[in-house]
A and B are shown apart, each in its own frame.
Chain A
């Protein structure tokens, strides 16, 4: 066979497909496996808990029938189902936001909180807690007195404040790296103020803040879920619809611009949706660490591609699945382990193992 005809054959084969069959197979397997895994994790989260409920009775409740013991209905409808949905939404949201940030900043260490959104939320909550202690501020006292709703409002206000500042800066700062460094600085400064506030506050109030900081998927009511779900689904929809933009950004902002991308607008959209997702999770569940940075790396490895049209759904499923499993582990009989302890203790070794087996943290400008 001559060189020319070899080349012609190769070209003819190339026309037929966009991805080699082996890679396509891997992507289908990865997405299918993640889908099944998320379903299993969701089932586990609803069937396992501190109060044993027989499986068939759980199914009866889910189908709307009355179980043999009416308490089971309460356990499932007001505790487990909201908790499982909160975990799934939070995990999906943090994964998606982390992926957006890693691609936008082309940095494997970027995560949803890189721009200080969670520090802002912490500041909001600590102000509310301290305010309630000293009675100095009527508003803050009201917020803390409102209990959970107060915490959510305070966290959202703090996160929103930092977010607006960052979005404003993003209009003037040309280099993404500069923006990232500024975000880290703002986060550090905010955390310092929080520390100062906590040293001035009563230990009982400080304890309330620390408990919030450990993260929890529990305690969400159905009306909480309506708001949390709405915001999360909106943020995820924006992220999903930006697959083409994120792909262009893989080549860097200059190449993206010469491919016709409005880089300024893409940057604002990405930052807005990522911060909205991170802010919503922080407000309702506390600053859940680790998932936002780890899940995108794991999804990238599993799917074997940086193409966001595959990676975004893979990250969504991997995030939901991981958070659900963490939630299940946190509800071991006789004890409740904080979510942040589980995400870090169980997640870190898994991610390290994934990374050691691969050559490098690819896909994010390294």
Chain B
């Protein structure tokens, strides 16, 4: 019961961004997507979310071919938090989150009792119940990010995709968000794929890591495997910093003895 990529190529008509992507993200697991800027993480997330068709190869969720799903069916199974800024105007937090029920509601989008329960749960689980009646123009970027995550959860997806969700967050909120995703994956039996630059934190919390190197090659495994076989170091080490496999943090390179 998983998300499975099989020799997937993503990109644009005249420009292939990533090719030969084969990986698995299990349900109940937090999968992190790491890699340098501009390597194609967002393009990959967009392709998985159905926002751009894959160039070749296959992707399936619980055995169902994702490229063949209807837009509505896909929306019931996959929810996404994108990096783009959302400013829908005069809406309360709850109204924003309730838009996540669209794939499940009828022609008018009217909410039933169960829809309202799900919205309340989603607000509660991201700790945003106090934002429910606030106007979106009055909330901070971090609070807005939490509401967008709640909106995605209100879709009740099997697969949750997040593209750099911690970009606007302060340090405590970043830790809290990763912790929340970790807990949701287990409790709701969700497959969660999150792209992030929080390498140290993510490696510590994730079940699976997808690591794209500067050449566009995807390495997969548990964080421990990728750390101990030197892949993490190969991708992220710089002239000044190196990843220390023992402490799991980046440290200054030791000065050469004089």
Contact = CB atoms under 8 A, between A and B. Distances in A.
A258 B51 contact: yes
A5 to B, nearest CB: 13
A312 B74 CA distance: 29
Given A10-B132, A251-B96, A258-B51, 5 more contacts: A14-B124, A23-B133, A258-B78, A258-B79, A365-B88
Interface size band for B: 35 or more
30 contacts: A10-B129, A11-B121, A14-B116, A15-B113, A15-B116, A18-B116, A20-B133, A23-B133, A241-B107, A243-B109, A244-B107, A250-B88, A250-B89, A250-B91, A250-B99, A251-B86, A254-B82, A255-B84, A255-B86, A258-B80, A259-B99, A260-B74, A304-B90, A305-B95, A306-B91, A362-B87, A362-B90, A364-B89, A365-B87, A366-B89
A119 to B, nearest CB: 29
Nearest to B107: A244
B120 to A, nearest CB: 4
Interface string B90-121: 11101110111011010111010100110111
Contacts of B46: 254
A244 B102 contact: yes
B137 interface: yes
Contacts of B119: 14
Given A251-B86, A258-B78, A20 B92 contact: yes
Given A14-B94, A258-B50, A305-B91, A243 B99 contact: no
Q: Which A-B residue pairs are the 8 nearest by beta carbons?
A: A363-B89, A260-B75, A244-B109, A250-B88, A306-B89, A260-B72, A260-B103, A362-B89
A3 to B, nearest CB: 10
Interface residues of A, number: 38
A341 interface: no
Contacts of B242: none
Interface string A250-292: 1110110111111000000000000000000000000000000
A251 B119 CA distance: 17
Nearest to B91: A306
Contacts of A307: 91, 95
A14 B155 CA distance: 18
Contacts of A365: 87-89
A309 B120 CA distance: 21
B129 A11 contact: yes
B109 A258 contact: no
Contacts of B30: none
Contact of B155 (A241, A259, A261, A305): A259
A244 B95 CA distance: 12
A244 B89 contact: no
Contacts of A248: 99, 102
B130 interface: yes
Contact of B111 (A18, A262, A359): A18
Contacts of A356: none
A255 B76 contact: no
A307 B130 CA distance: 21
B84 A254 contact: yes
A300 interface: yes
Contacts of A258: 49-51, 74-75, 78-80
Nearest to B75: A260
A14 B99 contact: no
B95 A19 contact: yes
B3 interface: no
